[in-house]
Amino acid sequence: MLRRDAQIYLNPLPPRTRIGVTRLQRSLAVHFLDSYGISLDTVIPDKSDEQPTNADGSDLQQREPTPVPDDPCAANTDASFAVLMEAIDALDVIEATTALRDRYDLAGAPRDEDVGEFFSAHDRRLDRAVAIKRFAAETVHNATELTHIVRTVRSIAAIQHKTIARILDYGFDRGGAFLVTEPIEGETLDETLRERTLDWETAVAIVCQICEALSRLHAQGIVHRNLQPAHVVHTAQGEVKLIDFGVRGSLGEQPPSQASMSSSERCDYRAPEQRSAVTVDDPRADLWSLAAILFQMVTGDAGEHVDLDRVEEPLRTVLAKGLSQDPGDRYQTASELRTDLLEIYAVHHRDRSAALGAPLAKGACRQCAEINNVDRAFCGACGAKLKEPCLACDADNEVWTHYCGQCGSKLDELVAHRQDELEQEKRAIESLRREYAYAEALARIAKMECLDHPRLATTRQWTEQMERSIETEVTEQQTGDALLLEAAKSDLERYRYAAACTLLDQIPHSIRSPQASALASEAFGRREELEHLLEEIKKRVSTRDLAGLWRQTERFLTLYPGHSQISRLDESLQTQKLAHIARIAECVQQAEIALAAGEHEQTLAKLAELAESDQQDSTVKELRRQTKIQMHQVEKLRDSIADADYATEMLALVDEYLELQPQDQSALELHEELAAEVDLEERELVSRKRQWRGVLALAVLMVIVAVTLTTWIWTNRQIVRPVAAERDPSPTDVDRPLWGVSENRSGPTATAQETRVAEAGANQRSAPNDQDTPAPVSPPRSTAQGTGRSEPATVKATDDVTGASPTSSGSDQPKAESEPTRKSERVPVLVPFSAQQAVRYQQAWAEVLKVPVGLTNSIGLELKLIPAGEFLMGSSDGVADRDLDESQHVVKLSQPYYLGIFEVTQQQYETVMGENHSKFRAPDRPVEQVSWDHAVEFCEELSRLPEEKAAGNVYRLPTEAEWEYACRAGTDTAYNSGESESDLSEVAWFNGNTTTTQPVGQKKPNAFGLYDMSGNVWEWCKDRYGPYDNEPVSDPQGADSGLERVSRGGSWINLPQVCRSARRSRYAPQRHYTVLGFRVLCWTASE
């Protein structure tokens, strides 16, 4: 057991990532075995000396890792597993690194230093020169220090500034840690100071650039701790680079010995507090070191005791503050030091400009000092201009003149002031360039003015040169960035997030393309998530909190599939995962059962029993969401029930409430009471109706008697002429023709109905005048089926020439061609008729009226032409679930009309009304939560639209009769699709196939081409609610009085039987619910 556990430490990572960590793993194994008082050599021989010395680690790749124990939480492996996870956490950075010789070609002999070696090398992957610093193996003592190094390197790599040598890569291999930076050509400040001192202007310029570098290092929490001239390089391009920043100090090494130091390194540049505590991480210590370097640059002397008398004012004041023994008295930030130095530089520049602008003799040339005649424009010796413009008014003045002859300004002061402004602008542009802010730098160069002045020629040359340099740098940077981007993509695809981040860090943020920014966001996000997961896994394993840990291991392996430890850990957690999933499924099932029973509180309580991590499961979240929605609906229904004014309205709301709360006893009792009350109201209405009917019948009888008596009297007195006996109706009258017209047909196969349709069409086209003799009208006849209803009166044909009546032979054949042309008027056709007939009737009416069958208005609302007709409205006594207010009666609709193919959608409603209060939001869903008042207002506003007024279109809600006739579309069944609920499912959305409204037009249309006439939402009608008349009516408009308005069709929340064609409902006109919508009827100018 001990041997196996020790091998875990020696082999915890896959071969590719084990390179260079043998020493650390061995130390972890020693730590484990020491706790048992056992030597490592007695368990596993030390074979580290036998390993090959090549840097690629090929020997280690042949070793197979020892499996982790199946039960990582067993008592005898607790300690080993915890230490194993600590090793994983410490070495997580290694997975993204590269062996040195796998990617770089080393060139030349290394340069030895006290903490490692420096190489010049070539990056084969990106085809560029690099510099490599390899740290001595003994500088990395443990995993914590190793992790600290990596984090420091990452922080520095993220800094993008030209004063800091860019970190291109880092890694670990058999030889230890190494750091790859950009190559820097130039001499160190140490080498320069060995030969000469610097003038104070040059020294101040160098220190200002170093201040910029320190500002960015300190902002990342990095302190150099070993700043000296040997770490400052002055390049051939005049730039200053800070090298060896912070990493050396982070290694925790002791100061190098005097024997190993260079000449400048023998000088102590450390702050006083660092000499007693090497690990002081105070940014002000770096500023003390920088002040000491500045003193050496201007005096050539460096030592522990600084003589400030050797420095002139005002630089002496700055050095006195920077070299203060007390950190509190020094500059607190590098920016403060840089500001004071720039102010000194600006004052000195103004003084120098004033000295250069000393008065000239009259006629003297500013360039060669030749004395010229005052009337000359150019110097006779060098050809230079003897006049220059005033910077205030642009007037020309002689170069020897002190004041402008136009505005009186002092010319030398104007030039000195402008030079001072341009110097500040130059420093700002140089600073932007060092920050890779190329676009802003070029914009500021373009804004520099007055550069054509002779005394500003030097600045003009500087701007031209700087502009060219920046444009060249931009081109080079873009070329390099493209290579970096492709390499980063490749690393990201191979799950090498750290390597991808290192590459993307080399692309400055200011010039980073959107594609590079998106890739960087993804790479850094995945790396951070990976490290966070690893930290959490280690923490939970160490505390033996393994409940639900498989979620973290699965996510980790999704981000980084090749991690062997996490893979083995995940395998050991699979049994726990399956058991956990089963527990969640059982809990969810119990919660669903409670939800179906309407026990919402119990549902939420059951879901709350799950662990916090399980609460994010998609099934759990969806179930909780549905429960809260139903709870909200229940509360809303309770409020609506409390606000309801009428028993019928309250009963409908209680029905909806019981669908959500079927076990609520109080609601069940209320439903019984309301049902009884509604039934009583219905009976009272029927009783009153019968009473009124009896009174009406008596009045009619009295009128008939009076008329009969009067007629008899007048007949006997021969006041009126006898009336010709009416002829018996033709047998053809029992046919059920169309209440409309169609093309004329003749021949032995034409039916009586079609013949009359053809005759009616001919009559419409012939347009007879009002003086024609009207045809006699036959009396109503009983139907052959014995239903008790009467056939409507039909108009009989007459001869246009003689006025004689046609023969009554009972034949439906048309008359011979020799017979005079006949005319006929519109005759009614009764429901039922087939779907094919419905289409023919629509087409026939469209042809006669010369209008299209389908119509699309200015807001995209589509309508269909509905032909005039006659049908039985209501339902017969044998229909299941028939209500008392559905008494069957004959209704005749004398005029055709257009009706919306779909319910008014939310998009159409919002286009006209500018608002949408629907609950189930979607442009193509029917608008709901619309009151009757708002539906009427919609029709009025739609009719007022200029396009609709020009077309002569007038919109309104359909009457209840118009709605039912259009819904039935020639059918006399319970639903317009048939008799069964399965038939209904093909044309309607109801409580059985949906839980919300649905987009219009998803189901099949009826025979007239209308969609969703049943289900989805209740549709408002124009009528007031009231009982039907039991007698035939024509174009009924509903009850004359009443507070409620009719709605038809059923909705998504109702049961199938509520969606019958004859089913009625009513609501107060100001009510608006999620089940209430509407469709519109249109009258056109042609009609």
Distances from the Cα of 859 to the Cαs of 23, 856, 907, 1002, 1010, in angstroms? 78, 8, 9, 20, 18
163-191: per-residue pLDDT in tens?
A: 888 888 877 766 677 888 888 888 888 88
| Secondary structure in 3-state letters for 506-525 | CCCHHHCCHHHHHHHHHHHH
Q: Pick the residue with more confidence: 753 or 924? A: 924
Q: Pick the residue with more confidence: 243 or 756? A: 243
Counting other chains too, the contacts that 838-846 makes at CB distance below 8 Å and 24 or more residues apart are 838/969, 838/970, 838/1007, 838/1008, 839/1007, 840/742, 841/738, 841/740, 841/742, 841/867, 841/869, 842/866, 842/867, 842/1008, 844/738, 844/740, 844/741, 844/742, 844/743, 844/757, 844/761, 845/740, 845/741, 845/896
Predicted confidence at residue 796, as pLDDT, reads: 34
Per-residue pLDDT band for 640 (boundaries 50, 70, 90) equals confident
Name the residue with tokens 């009085």: 1041
Cα Rg of the chain, angstroms: 50
Per-residue pLDDT band for 359 (boundaries 50, 70, 90) equals low
Nearest to 223 by CA among 306, 284, 159: 284
For residue 909, pLDDT beyond 60: yes
User: Nearest 10 degrees: CA dihedral of 950, 951, 955, 960?
Assistant: 160
For the domain 186-350, what is the CATH code?
1.10.510.10
Counting every residue written for the chain, the total comes to 1087
Per-residue pLDDT band for 904 (boundaries 50, 70, 90) equals very high
Contact 140, 174 (CB under 8 A): no
Bridge partners of 134, per DSSP, are 117, 178
Contact 38, 2 (CB under 8 A): yes
To which H or E segment does residue 464 belong? helix 457-493
Q: How big is the CA angle at 539 (ends 538 and 542), to the nearest 5 degrees?
A: 85
Predicted confidence at residue 987, as pLDDT, reads: 95
To which H or E segment does residue 200 belong? helix 200-219
Per-residue pLDDT band for 944 (boundaries 50, 70, 90) equals very high
Q: Pick the residue with more confidence: 160 or 540? A: 540
Token pair in block for residue 217: 């290092």
For residue 731, pLDDT beyond 70: no
Distances from the Cα of 162 to the Cαs of 208, 434, 506, in angstroms? 13, 5, 11
Q: What is the pLDDT of the chain when averaged over all its residues?
A: 75
User: Nearest 10 degrees: CA dihedral of 639, 643, 647, 653?
Assistant: -30
Predicted confidence at residue 197, as pLDDT, reads: 86
Domain 835-1083 grouped into CATH 3.90.1580.10:
yes
187-238: per-residue pLDDT in tens?
A: 888 888 888 888 888 888 889 888 988 888 888 888 887 888 888 888 877 7
Distances from the Cα of 817 to the Cαs of 276, 442, 452, 649, in angstroms? 132, 98, 108, 63
408 three-state secondary structure: coil
Q: Which amino acid is at 948?
A: E
Cα 207 from Cα 291, distance rounded (Å): 8
Q: What is the mean pLDDT of residues 679-708?
A: 84
For residue 720, pLDDT beyond 60: no
Residue 640's CB is within 10 A of a number of other CB atoms, namely 18
Per-residue pLDDT band for 859 (boundaries 50, 70, 90) equals very high
Report how many helices (DSSP H) and strands (DSSP E) the chain contains, helices first.
32, 24
Nearest to 1026 by CA among 1044, 1047, 1051: 1044
Q: Which range (110-119, 137-146, 647-656, 862-871) has the least confidence? A: 137-146
By the 10 Å C-beta count (0-12 exposed, 13-18 middle, 19+ buried), 569 is classed as buried
Contact 387, 399 (CB under 8 A): yes
Q: Pick the residue with more confidence: 548 or 1028? A: 1028
Most confident of 96-105, 695-704, 732-741: 695-704
To which H or E segment does residue 1082 belong? strand 1081-1083
Nearest to 791 by CA among 713, 704, 729: 729
Q: What is the mean pLDDT of residues 1013-1031?
A: 93
Predicted confidence at residue 717, as pLDDT, reads: 65
Distances from the Cα of 803 to the Cαs of 796, 806, 807, in angstroms? 12, 9, 13
Name the residue with tokens 């042309």: 821
Nearest to 436 by CA among 597, 265, 239, 246: 239
Q: Which range (131-140, 215-224, 231-240, 885-894) has the least confidence? A: 131-140
Name the residue with tokens 């990452």: 154
Most confident of 501-515, 709-723, 922-936: 922-936
Nearest to 288 by CA among 199, 221, 225, 362: 225
Cα 113 from Cα 231, distance rounded (Å): 13
- Residue intervals of the chain classified under CATH 3.90.1580.10 are 835-1083
Question: Quick check: pTM over 0.85?
Answer: no
- pLDDT above 70: percentage of residues in the chain: 74
Q: Which amino acid is at 278?
A: V
Q: Pick the residue with more confidence: 915 or 103? A: 915
- Residue intervals of the chain classified under CATH 1.10.510.10 are 186-350
Q: Which amino acid is at 668?
A: L
Bridge partners of 154, per DSSP, are none
Q: Is the peptide bond before 729 cis (omega within 30 degrees of 0)?
A: no
Cα 406 from Cα 989, distance rounded (Å): 90
The number of C-alpha atoms within 13 Å of 526 and in the hemisphere containing its C-beta is 23
Q: Where are the alpha helices (DSSP H) in 560-664?
A: 564-572, 574-596, 600-608, 618-643, 647-660
Which conformational region is residue 795 in: left (phi greater than 0), alpha (psi within -120 to 50 degrees), or beta?
beta
Which conformational region is residue 152 in: left (phi greater than 0), alpha (psi within -120 to 50 degrees), or beta?
alpha
Per-residue pLDDT band for 403 (boundaries 50, 70, 90) equals confident
To which H or E segment does residue 297 belong? helix 283-299
- Max CA-CA distance within the chain? 158
Bridge partners of 240, per DSSP, are 234
Q: Are strands 1033-1034 and 889-893 parallel, antiparallel or unpaired?
A: parallel
Token pair in block for residue 733: 């009258």
Residue 1020's CB is within 10 A of a number of other CB atoms, namely 27
Cα 885 from Cα 888, distance rounded (Å): 9
Give the DSSP letter of residue 1078: -
Token pair in block for residue 758: 């053809």
959-991: per-residue pLDDT in tens?
A: 999 999 999 999 999 999 988 888 899 999 998
Token pair in block for residue 773: 């003799």
Nearest to 309 by CA among 326, 295, 292, 325: 295
Contact 1065, 1047 (CB under 8 A): yes
